[in-house]
Amino acid sequence: MTARVIMKLRVFMARHTTADVLHLTLTHPIRPELPEWTAGAHVDLRLQDGRIRQYSLCGDPSDRSKYEIAVKLEALGRGGSKWIHENLKEGAIAHVSAPRNNLPISAAAERHILVAGGIGITPFLSMAKTFKSQGKNFIRPYCALAPQRAPLFSSLLDICGPRLQCWFSNSGPRFKPELIGHYSPTTHVYVCGPERLLDSVKTHLADWPEEQVHGEIFQATLDENFKAEPFEVTIASSGQRLVVPADKSLLDVLRESGWALPSSCGLGLCGSCECSYRDGVVIHRDKVLPISRRQDRMMPCVSRARVAVTLDL
């Protein structure tokens, strides 16, 4: 768990890069410099009702005066992007956390392959800028519907030049994971986009060491086979017992009883709400906690327990 400060940033610029992608430039109303970040980082953006959405920073990490994010309007989404498109006009105030990086550039790699799909391009804009400024070797396949619908396409073309390889899914050959090429111990692959893209690349690279394949998704996991069951939680420090009904998360129940646990995505992706447990069988449903730490750590936003669990709170 890492606590991050939340800032009230001003929307300095809001413009559409495609019909459904809003590019926001955010500045601090008082401080000249924002907290530093590295390529691949994301911020949490708070909606009015307290829900949180995560967006990769797509600007230049060396420019501390502003943050840039690109928000795709998800017509069938959970309402967050719609609220942002309707409310975050120029001059509005956005509640934004300091950045966190779950998709950092590997210092060990000599060659970097970036695979982006759709709005998943955003972290790669900052990564491509970093690679270019460091003179690093990188290539990037890119999948999108069509050039005019590809968000921030021209910005990326400016940075990458001929290095940019595109596979537009409505014309010509489609991107295939085979294009990534043969295994090399100094090549790292980064994937960002829809879950099916991540899955197809990870499946294709199943023989590669886990630490050489990096991916990030910002969407809920739909696990139709999972049926939540109620369970009981005991707070180790006080002995307090709480019941988590089937239709509520452990995090919700903890909050209702007054525990202000940090949390962010509510989807088991960001790792903010991580806490320790003992004496229980936990059903881990998050996508962030490494297997090696699941024996005594859990993400209460999505993970549950069989019958009962004791939390180290």
The binding site for another protein (CB under 8 A) comprises 1-8, 35, 46, 48, 50, 87, 93, 95, 97, 257-260, 262
- Look-up of token digits 């327990």: 305
Query: 31 or 176: whose CB is closer to another protein?
Result: 31
- 35 vs 194, beta carbon nearer another protein: 35
To another protein, the closest distance from the beta carbon of 41 in angstroms equals 13
Between 93 and 236, name the residue whose CB sits nearer to another protein: 93
Indicate the residue among 50 and 290 with the shorter CB distance to another protein.
Answer: 50
Q: For the CB of residue 5, give the shortest distance to another protein in the complex, in Å.
A: 5
Q: Given the complex with another protein, which of 62 and 87 has the nearer CB atom?
A: 87
- For residue 95, the minimal CB distance to another protein (Å) is 6
CB of 49 to another protein, least distance (A): 9
CB of residue 297 to another protein, shortest distance in Å: 16
Q: 218 or 259, CB closer to another protein?
A: 259
CA 40 to chain centroid, in Å, comes to 9
Measured from the CB atom, the residue of 51 and 136 that comes closer to another protein is 51
Q: Tell the smallest beta-carbon distance from residue 193 to another protein (Å).
A: 30
Beta bridge partners of 215: 191
- Look at residues 125, 165, 167, 108 and name the one whose alpha carbon lies nearest to residue 143: 167
- Rounded to a whole number of angstroms, the minimum distance from the CB of residue 307 to another protein is 26
Decide: residue 306, CB within 10 A, 0-12 exposed, 13-18 middle, 19+ buried: exposed
